[in-house]
Amino acid sequence: MHISNRLFAAHLVAFVLVSTALPVLAAGYTQKASSWWGDPAVPAPNHVEMTIDGVQPDATVNGTISFTLTCKLPQPSTLKLDTVVIQVDGNNVQAYYGTNARAILGLPRTFNVDTTKFSDGWHELRARCYAMETTIGPELGKQTQVTNGHQLYFKNGNAFVDNRSVTPGIVDAHSWYDTDAATGDSIDYVYVQIVNVHPLIQAPLKGVVPVTGLVTNAGPTTIAHWALKVDGVTISEFHDAKQLRTVDLDTRMLSNGPHDLQFHGHGLAKSGKQLAGQVEIPIVVENDPQPSPPDAGTPPPPPAPSLDGGVSVTPPPAPSTNPPVQTSSLTGNTGCSSRSSCPLASLGALVAVMAFTARTRRGKLPEAEDPRRCPAAGACHGAEGRMGAVLSPRPPPSSSRSPWQSAAGGVRLLQSVRSRSSEAKIGGAAGIEGAAGCGPRWPCAAPVRTGTCPNLSNGLVGAPRTLIAILLRRRRTARR
């Protein structure tokens, strides 16, 4: 175990020694810069692009540093590549010209910079690409150039020279054009700079993030456009506005993951043509997942159209046919609200029974209403009887006491009388008891055979006399 630890320590020391002897390879991000000259209404042709891999803005470096550069002329284009060069503070360090440059068009190529040959302090690293116009006409041979730039701090133990006014956090694209053939003006430069690059690249972005951009020029153009884009889609832009702006980038509008952030600006020449520049950096969005909104439930279906073309409206619910009974207003089991009304109710029931008995004896009932002519068993028993239809119609539904309920109480009282009287021999008494509070067709009293019905007339003969006696007795008792 001790041997393995010693071997690991030896390998670690060897790795440190070797790494200090090797040139520093910037392991940063990929940055792209673009330039184009032409008609603002047709901006697509003749772009020149320079891409640098390994950008670390404002990094402190020493020794020899290396970068991978790629120059492109996206189609459609009438340009021809002429130069690919890397510079420090505008001084060429390594360059390819003419056919050598065209030989590496679109191909990544490693460029080295020996920082020990420069003073310590801030310096600007520039990767540049030049292209010439090939169309026969007044612009033949005119150059369009692009510069992809960022700042570095050299520290090699050399003399320190503070020869630059440096603001940390700047990455940029320099666009340069030759002479405007229409006016003879030297167009010179338009600079497009992201001023606060560090918070955009050093950590994943979330929420609302400020982005500051600056568009300036060196020449006769007028700054006419300031635009922030993500993945080629314009997020915010201004025309004929001031050159320095800060806008809020709401990353919650973007999907989580990598994106390309582009900052664009252009200047207008007197001829109406534009010199445009754009710098592009990668960003990573990493917002917290948003909670799902609560389920609002299934909305009710829309109302169905009626037959007349209108919208049908659901009627309000019908009142209950069985209203709750206020038991506090009841006295005993008679269904009456007071003692004084009970004799009158019972007397009304008695009169109804007597009338029915008289009609039965005279044989005046229609054949369908004659209780002695009973329908089949299935129609009388288990379905509906006919006796209740003869005695009374269906009482109307009401929450208050009605004469029909008083009559029903009288029937129950009559039944009580018959139970006390030796003359009461009514086979259908239970049928009348079941009539209280029912509809026009009441339940049959008891099972009977087909063609036979309970005979009520036998027991109704002696009931009136006995009932009157009991009513008078109760009235005298109530007066006391």
77-128, pLDDT tens digit by residue? 999 999 999 999 999 999 999 999 999 999 999 999 999 999 999 999 999 9
Is this model's pTM higher than 0.85 or not?
A: no
Alpha-carbon gap, residue 375 to 364, rounded angstroms: 19
Mean pLDDT of 352-359: 55
pLDDT at 276: 97
Q: Where are the domains of the chain?
A: 23-285, 329-479
* Tens-place pLDDT, residues 249-306: 999 999 999 999 999 999 999 999 999 999 999 999 999 987 776 665 556 666 655 4
Alpha-carbon gap, residue 110 to 224, rounded angstroms: 36
> What is the residue-averaged pLDDT of the chain?
73
Residue with tokens 């690059």: 197
Q: Band the pLDDT of 471: cuts 50, 70, 90.
A: low
29 within 8 A of 136, measured Cβ to Cβ = no
Whether 411 has a pLDDT exceeding 60, the answer reads no
Q: Worst-scoring range by mean pLDDT, 167-176, 301-310, 332-341, 362-371?
A: 332-341
How much of the chain exceeds pLDDT 70, in percent?
55
Whether 170 has a pLDDT exceeding 80, the answer reads yes
Alpha-carbon gap, residue 200 to 209, rounded angstroms: 8
Q: Band the pLDDT of 422: cuts 50, 70, 90.
A: very low
pLDDT at 82: 97
Which of 427, 437, 444, 426 is CA-nearest to residue 386? Answer: 444
Amino acid residing at 110: T
Mean pLDDT of 362-387: 42
Alpha-carbon gap, residue 264 to 424, rounded angstroms: 113
Helix (H) or strand (E) holding 133: strand 121-133
pLDDT at 465: 58
